[in-house]
Amino acid sequence: MDFSSELSDTLWDVVICGTGLPQSLLALSLSRSGKNILHIDPNDYYGSAEAAFSLQEADDWVARHSTTAASSTSVFKSASITKPENVVGLSFPRAYTLALAPQLIHARSELLSQLVSSRAYRQVEFLAVGSFFVFKPSSSPSLAPTLVRIPSTREDVFSTTAISAKAKRGLMKFLKFVVDYNSSPQTESWHPYADVPLVDFLREHFKMDAELQTYIITLTLSLDGRISTKDGLATIHRHLSSMGMLGPNFAAVYPKWGGISEIAQVSCRAGAVGGAVYMLGNGIKEMTVGENEISLELTSGDKVRTRRLFRGEGTGGDETGIGRLVAIISSPLKSLFEPTIEGAPKPGVAVIAFPTGSLASAGEADIDCPIYVLAHSSDTGECPIGQSVLYLTTLSSSDSKNTLHRALESMLIALDGEQQRPESLYHLYYEQAGSSMRSQQEDLIFGFPPPSLSLSFDDATLGPVREAWNVVMGEAGVGTDYMAFPDREGYVDDDEMYD
Amino acid sequence: MASDDSLPTLKILLIGPSGAGKSALLTRYCDDEFDPESSAATIGIDFKIKNLAVRGKAYRLTLFDTAGQERFRTLSTSFYRGAHGVLLVYDISSRASFKTMERWFTEAEANTVQGVALYLVGSKLDKAEHSREVSYEEAQALAREHNASFCEASAKTCENVRRPFVDIVDRIVLTPGLLAAARAGRASGTLAVGASGGAGTDGYLSGCAC
């Protein structure tokens, strides 16, 4: 069959380039629109900057992103893989699915509502994000550091022995405040602090000690630890109001097999079911923008014409970026993934924070912003049973690789005492550029901003997808439900018997 | 009788090159329909459901078509997840179609769990007399190499249409551990995100007196 002529003979309504989350969600949103859609990606894998890789794919990816210079085409740089010597236990490459940009998704996120209303959620398996821990350095050289679990419910706050009775009262007072922080009289107390760091508000208004401040900041996952009072309260409110929404004792979920990557793939499948044509390993080489259509020459040599083009907008990477370290651990790290109350689902993800100033060691500068670790159990499908994957993130600096490795080692010491001493089997390090770019529309071309560096999914990502959908649908979109589809299931036949 | 939701669900994929007749086979098996004019890529079908009893026990089959993503070989890893069985379909009247099967086997083996039931199906058996380009023996040998079962079938005449589906289910249920392996994770912590009413909260915000 000659697909090339089909490609070039068609005047496409929409060409989408890239299979990151926004582009994939656009494909999903248009999957019942009857539009003629060609969806391509210059990479030979789905997910763009939110992809998930086997170890073999990670090798190939690192080879293309090892440069330390900022690039105009990729948000990633300085990628390297190291495998500690004399350590055995790494399984075969496809036994792993390492996520480039793992994110928690809060139960109240609009993304989950859209996945449910569009029926795409049926092909995604979600796990609970369980406990949040804070790393506590040892108080004397003879003692190991510890991980202290942040109490997640009222009962938890009362029963924990980790904080004093006075601190408990302070914590409860703050949590009650957050419940309706946006109404009077609460607003009067925080509005003067709106644009100053949340820690200042917690210290001055709630008289919280440093440890309690740390708990609250950890729940915000603020990368610099300096989140503003306005944003911080909104984030804590999202966390608390998500708690229990989808089941007891958890506030966020994580899609198995690589998080956002899986949602992108399932969305593209929905696009394909709706008739979109998919090509991977095929990007745009040349482009001519006419008055009513765009002519594209693809890297495959195919020439296509389209009414509109939707793509990612380069890097914009002048902003501070982050350093990421992915480590495969030889132990299931069971203590991180225990349900804390009866009836709660078994969590597949835990969060560990190294607060600012918690990683002092001889001859090394202490950290001046937090380090966050997303710990994934083998239930995520990202590693074999008996192992786990740790995703460490911190704001990038000239020393972030070294800092993340030190945090990893300290964390494994804190977790020693499991049946099997945890060791890291594999390290993948890279840096990702940030961006404050917004979506752009010029003539017939729409550009999505690069992905957010946030460790929890930011609903602001969904705005440009809706904008793009409006652009495609025009008048036809008015009065049409967005992302709301009936199931496509085939009917259920009578049983047939067979022996 | 038990409700359908309580039946053990098997995920079975149909893969293979464009034009091999995957959708025709699926439509004939599930709906007993055959449209000789329909050669366009399948649109709008995500998967079909068919209940089937094998060895006295009922199963719910979810049968996934490629949704056209075989054209440029862009099936995603997520498509293969949790599959218990894969039907690899080629056209016996097309040598070119058969020649791609080695790559389809490789892709299926790489993306599924160990012990997954593989089944090679030569379609368009009605064309055997006049335009067969792939011999039964040659295809059978390829299937053996990959520890796959094999048969030839015709969606047009209905010959052997049920056989690959019934046989692959039989093979799945007879493979120790396959049901559990492909379902791994379902039992441990997978959440019912869509089922939630989403009304209440617990934790800090619940009404416990304090």
Report ipTM for this prediction: 0.90
Q: Is B40 on the interface with A (CB under 8 A)?
A: no
For chain A, the first-to-last Cα distance in angstroms comes to 41
**pLDDT of A69:** 83
**pLDDT of B42:** 66
A308's enclosing H/E stretch is strand A303-312
Query: Which of A132, A123, A128 lies closest to A107, judged by CA?
Result: A128
CA distance B16 to B105: 9
Predicted confidence (pLDDT) at residue B209 exceeds the cutoff of 90? no
CA distance B177 to B189: 20
Query: Which of A97, A2, A73, A7 lies closest to A298, judged by CA?
Result: A7
**pLDDT of B198:** 43
Whole-number Cα distances in Å, A412 to A54, A400, B209: 24, 18, 39
**pLDDT of A319:** 67
* Residue corresponding to tokens 């998080």: A259
Whole-number Cα distances in Å, A447 to A127, A260, A268, A432, A442: 32, 20, 18, 19, 8
3 state SS for A147-197: EEECCCCHHHHHHCCCCCHHHHHHHHHHHHHHHCCCCCCHHHHHHHHCCCE
B195: pLDDT confidence band, cut at 50, 70 and 90? low
Q: What is the β-pairing status of strands A440-442 and A445-448?
A: antiparallel
Q: Is B51 on the interface with A (CB under 8 A)?
A: yes
Mean pLDDT, residues B136-143 taken together: 98
- Higher-pLDDT residue of A233 and B1 is A233
**pLDDT of A31:** 96
CA distance A103 to A96: 18
Mean pLDDT, residues B127-146 taken together: 97
Q: DSSP label at B86?
A: E
- Does B96 map to a domain? yes
- Higher-pLDDT residue of A4 and B66 is B66
Q: DSSP label at A120?
A: G
Q: Does domain A3-51+257-316+437-477 have CATH number 3.50.50.60?
A: yes
CA distance A387 to A395: 27
Comparing alpha-carbon positions, the chain A residue that sits nearest to B3 is A492
Of B42, B73, B77, B165, which to mutate for an interface test with A (greatest number of A Cβ within 10 Å)?
B77
**pLDDT of B107:** 96
B201: pLDDT confidence band, cut at 50, 70 and 90? very low
- The tens place of each residue's pLDDT in chain A, 499 residues long, gives 467 788 999 999 999 999 999 999 999 999 999 999 999 999 999 999 999 999 999 999 999 999 988 777 789 999 999 999 888 899 999 999 999 999 999 999 999 999 999 999 988 999 999 999 999 998 887 888 999 999 877 778 888 887 888 888 888 899 999 999 999 899 999 999 999 999 999 999 999 999 899 999 999 999 999 999 999 999 999 999 999 999 988 999 999 999 999 999 999 999 999 999 999 999 999 999 999 999 999 999 999 999 999 999 766 656 679 999 999 999 999 999 998 888 889 999 999 999 999 998 777 788 899 999 999 999 999 999 999 999 999 999 989 999 999 999 999 999 987 566 899 999 999 999 988 788 888 889 999 999 999 999 999 999 999 999 999 999 988 888 999 998 876 544 444 544 4
Predicted confidence (pLDDT) at residue B206 exceeds the cutoff of 50? no
Identify the architecture of domain A79-256+319-433 in CATH. 2-Layer Sandwich (3.30)
Domain count, chain B: 1
Q: Is B36 on the interface with A (CB under 8 A)?
A: no
Q: Is B185 on the interface with A (CB under 8 A)?
A: yes
In total, the C-beta contacts within 8 angstroms joining chain A to chain B are 185
- Does B113 map to a domain? yes
Q: CB–CB of B189 and A347 under 8 A? A: yes
- Does B43 map to a domain? yes
Q: DSSP label at A138?
A: -
Please give the structure tokens belonging to residue A440. 């752009």
Query: Which of B56, B61, B46 lies closest to B8, judged by CA?
Result: B61
B40: pLDDT confidence band, cut at 50, 70 and 90? low
Q: Is B175 on the interface with A (CB under 8 A)?
A: no
β-partners of residue B208 are none
What residues make up the domain containing B175? 4-189
In terms of C-beta density within 10 A (0-12 exposed, 13-18 middle, 19 or more buried), how is residue A191 classed? Answer: exposed
For the entire predicted model, the pTM comes to 0.94
If you average pLDDT over every residue of chain B, what do you get? Answer: 86
Mean pLDDT, residues B8-29 taken together: 93
CATH number at residue B153: 3.40.50.300
Of B45, B78, B100, B109, which to mutate for an interface test with A (greatest number of A Cβ within 10 Å)?
B78
Query: Is A266:B82 a contact under the CB 8 Å cutoff?
Result: no
Q: CB–CB of A273 and B43 under 8 A? A: yes
* Cis peptide bond upstream of A384, omega within 30: no
CATH 3.50.50.60-classified regions of chain A: 3-51+257-316+437-477
**pLDDT of A15:** 98
Percentage of chain B lying above the pLDDT 70 cut = 84
**pLDDT of A165:** 87
**pLDDT of B185:** 45
Rounded to the nearest angstrom, the gap between the alpha carbon of residue A200 and the centroid of all alpha carbons in its chain is 28
- Does B204 map to a domain? no
CATH 3.30.519.10-classified regions of chain A: 79-256+319-433
CA distance B160 to B147: 20
